[in-house]
Amino acid sequence: MRQRMMPIAFMFGAMVAFAFAQAPPATGPMEGKGHTALVHSIAISPDGKTIATAGFDKTVRLWEIKDAKLVEVKSILAHNDPVYAVAFSPDGKFLATSSLDKTMKTWTMPEAKMDKEFKGHTDIVGSVSWSPDGKNLVTAGGMADKSVRVWNSVDGKELKNLGMHTGSVYSVTFSPDGKFVASSGADNLVRIWDVAAGKESKQLKGHDMPVTGVVYGKDVSSVISVSQDRTVRVWNTADGKELKKYGPTADDLFGIARGKDAKNVATIGYSGIVSIREVETGKEIFTFRIRSPGYAIALTADGNSILSGHDNGTLQLTPVTPKK
């Protein structure tokens, strides 16, 4: 497949969304305007009331859905450089952010006051994820760093450097039991890390282009990945084998979001195509094109809408109408 020329956001990694929100019915996409540069990550508070977006304008913006509209309620000048990732803690009391400035920060919510700054990476911190108990965070390092690091969320100290990819790390996520971390990167690999042992336990090989996003399935036994090779793949984490492969998709994939029950996954790509696919069968049950490159995606808790972040600085809320 011919490789496309990509903007800076792809070069340093696409973001993966794990959060969910409740959304009212809508007749068409709703657009939230606030960022003055591309939206690279989306997170939604556990109670579904607040949406956080990470922008290359160095800001994090907080949104609510009111009267069927996306309303910006707060803007935070969060970092000195573009913001790559946002993630709410499991209890919703903190928001983690990460940036091109090589730092991660946590913020108290809903005040949005800075709590701690985490330093140690030597390049972009392109992705961040909380452990299920909220005690730890895991981060992904960019091209000059390539590391996967675990941090204590209480004192801000680095607990472990789990290891490295051979290229930029684009996404990281804790397993549902908190014992493992899955990461994906520019080296075309998904890697599984044993947190307690502090080392790699598996390499998942099969993609032939950078793996831009990874999420766990319904439990620790499987992960789902997306790649610039235009495929969605499901893996067995115990033996590292590929269970399913779907594609080629109509887009170079940048982001993935798991449905609440893990039966569906949503994806987004450079052409601005948002899609929902059944994990078990690979059947595409919804697709819609928003005419701006897309980098971030999230599904509402009821599965009725998709939130997506775009190159033109907008946050889009698209109602899902299943294919007949």
Query: The CATH number of the domain where 161 resides is what?
Result: 2.130.10.10
| Number of residues assigned to the chain | 324
- Using pLDDT thresholds of 50, 70 and 90, give the confidence band for residue 20: very low
- Using pLDDT thresholds of 50, 70 and 90, give the confidence band for residue 324: low
Domain-located, residue 4: no
Residue 2 pLDDT more than 80?
Answer: no
Domain-located, residue 27: no
> Is 11 strand, coil or helix?
helix
Domain count within the chain: 1
Residue 248 pLDDT more than 90?
Answer: yes
- pLDDT for 28 equals 62
Residue 245, token pair as written in the block: 């492969």
- Using pLDDT thresholds of 50, 70 and 90, give the confidence band for residue 11: very low
Domain-located, residue 7: no
Domain-located, residue 28: no
Say which residues have a Cβ less than 8 Å from residue 224's Cβ, sequence separation at least 6. Answer: 214, 215, 216, 217, 232, 233, 234, 235, 256, 258, 265, 279
- The proportion of the chain whose per-residue pLDDT surpasses 90, expressed as a percent, equals 84
Residue 16 pLDDT more than 60?
Answer: no
- Using pLDDT thresholds of 50, 70 and 90, give the confidence band for residue 304: confident
What type of residue is 228?
Q
The pTM score is 0.91
Residue 277 pLDDT more than 70?
Answer: yes
* Mean pLDDT computed over every residue of the chain: 91
Cα torsion 115, 39, 76, 154 to 10°: value is: 0
> Is 225 strand, coil or helix?
strand
Residue 217 pLDDT more than 80?
Answer: yes
**Which range, 2-11, 15-24, 150-159, 297-306, is most confident?**
150-159
Residue 99 pLDDT more than 50?
Answer: yes
Lowest mean pLDDT among 86-100, 108-122, 232-246, 249-263: 249-263
- Using pLDDT thresholds of 50, 70 and 90, give the confidence band for residue 259: confident
Q: What is the DSSP string of 117-175?
A: EEE--SS-EEEEEE-TTSSEEEEEE-TTT-EEEEEETTT--EEEEEEE-SS-EEEEEE-
Cα separations (Å) of 52 from 77, 183, 262, 289?
13, 22, 22, 22
Domain hosting residue 69, numbered range? 12-20+34-314
Cα torsion 287, 291, 293, 297 to 10°: value is: -40
Q: What is the mean pLDDT of residues 266-277?
A: 96
- pLDDT for 295 equals 96
Residue 4 pLDDT more than 60?
Answer: no
What type of residue is 143?
M
